[in-house]
Structure 1
């Protein structure tokens, strides 16, 4: 279970998000405790990515209501560049690597809020050991990498900021089955190091297998939450998201 399930890292209460007249998120509660890997699963259009963007202040032209607390402080309305300084990092859907920069330069960009040169160098070595594929290609332009390699780079870049909370938005999207397995292997490795993670993912089976706890989101509402392993055996989850039952 989590390293310290009593220390709350993220707490969302009554979150609502509206784009014009469309209510994308309809009043959800969600929390992530220190050391946990928590997953938010659901179909396309359920409101999962909108929830992450509400947390990170990256939603343009929309109305956000409710409460978002990170490390005990209200952050609703905060700018994303300020949140990075508080060690909240997100790997967005679509990865967003700097295509005309090398792998090594991308990693340094992940550490731009830090000034401890020795620590940064040590972390580059650390994440190269976790992502050996990136180490082999350190001088290669990020835009020439495969989708899976770019996903690894986006994760390693986010980890360079020493996040107290890492948000992952659909890390397996568009990847081959072999690369999906590799990405989840890395997610489990990162979680085992005690880094707190909130994972939004369409591959419900792999997400629940990796997570401590899970939330199911449907049409802007959280319809179920609980122990991830127990949810894997839930008939409703099996029928709706695992292709079983």
Structure 2
């Protein structure tokens, strides 16, 4: 079997004396869209921070394209094809939309390709084209999320990490964000999606992992997880108790 594009083995992450991630295994094959779902505080964002070098490991291994990337600097990972859209978007508020997109391509030197990709982002996100010279800090939350995704895609990532892309957005914007997520996946970019909206995440994904209190409690094909009684009770608002998932 081919080695997965990304694999975590025995990953442990601590904040002081608190274990936020307690020895999880997770893998993402090339071309997959994998969802990591769970309640707030389950350890999902901490897992992404560990992958991208924003949080040191207490134990375990992170391999990307067959090589260990534990401790690698975030900018070095971007150059190797791994990009992240952080929770809270993190756009450059005092830069224009176009300048933000150019920042996403900071590792590249192909000017013609960069210009073509900016036009491609404007085609994917027409709202950004309308506001190309507007400062990012003056945009709505939904528009900023579109910009954050477009900026990450400007690096032409092999693996895109998305942290809670639907958080705080209107239903119309959430629908647009997930439309883009599915489109990006269909175009061949591998995606690891962290998302509290379990239904939308699993409907978009090929496979899924469920995190609870720093542990992976369930994993499998996304369609099967959507039908799992424990997932339905805990995360899809159907009859049953959230505590069932821990059993």
Please tell me the TM-score bracket, short chain as reference. Answer: over 0.9
Q: Is 2:9 the counterpart of 1:26?
A: no
Q: How big is the alpha-carbon RMSD for the aligned residues of Structure 1 and Structure 2?
A: 1.0
Alignment of 1:38-77 (within 5 A): 38-59=34-55, 63-77=57-71
Task: Quickly say closer, same or farther: Cα 1:11–1:63, change in 2 above 3 A.
Answer: closer
Q: Distance in 2 between matches of 1:6 and 1:210?
A: 24
Q: Distance in 2 between matches of 1:7 and 1:196?
A: 14
3-state SS of the aligned residue for 1:50?
A: helix
3-state SS of the aligned residue for 1:14?
A: strand
**Aligned residue for 1:184?**
178
**Aligned residue for 1:166?**
160
Q: Give, in angstroms, the shift of residue 74 of structure 1.
A: 0.1
**Aligned residue for 1:175?**
169
Q: Distance in 2 between matches of 1:221 and 1:236?
A: 15
CA deviation map 1:1-46 (0-9, x unaligned): xxxx945210000000111110000000000011100000000000
Structure 1: 5+ residue stretches without partners:
none
Q: Distance in 2 between matches of 1:213 and 1:133?
A: 31
3-state SS of the aligned residue for 1:215?
A: strand
Alignment of 1:2-21 (within 5 A): 6=2, 8-21=4-17
Q: Distance in 2 between matches of 1:6 and 1:178?
A: 39
Q: Distance in 1 between matches of 2:58 and 2:198?
A: 27
Q: Is 2:29 the counterpart of 1:37?
A: no
Alignment check: 8 A CA contact 1:7 1:34 kept: no
**Aligned residue for 1:78?**
72
Q: Distance in 2 between matches of 1:210 and 1:116?
A: 32
Alignment of 1:74-223 (within 5 A): 74-223=68-217
Q: Distance in 1 between matches of 2:58 and 2:123?
A: 40
**Aligned residue for 2:243?**
none
Alignment check: 8 A CA contact 1:17 1:26 kept: yes
Consecutive aligned runs of 4 or more in structure 1 exceeding 6 Å deviation = none
Structure 2: 5+ residue stretches without partners:
240-247
Q: Give, in angstroms, the shift of residue 64 of structure 1.
A: 2.6
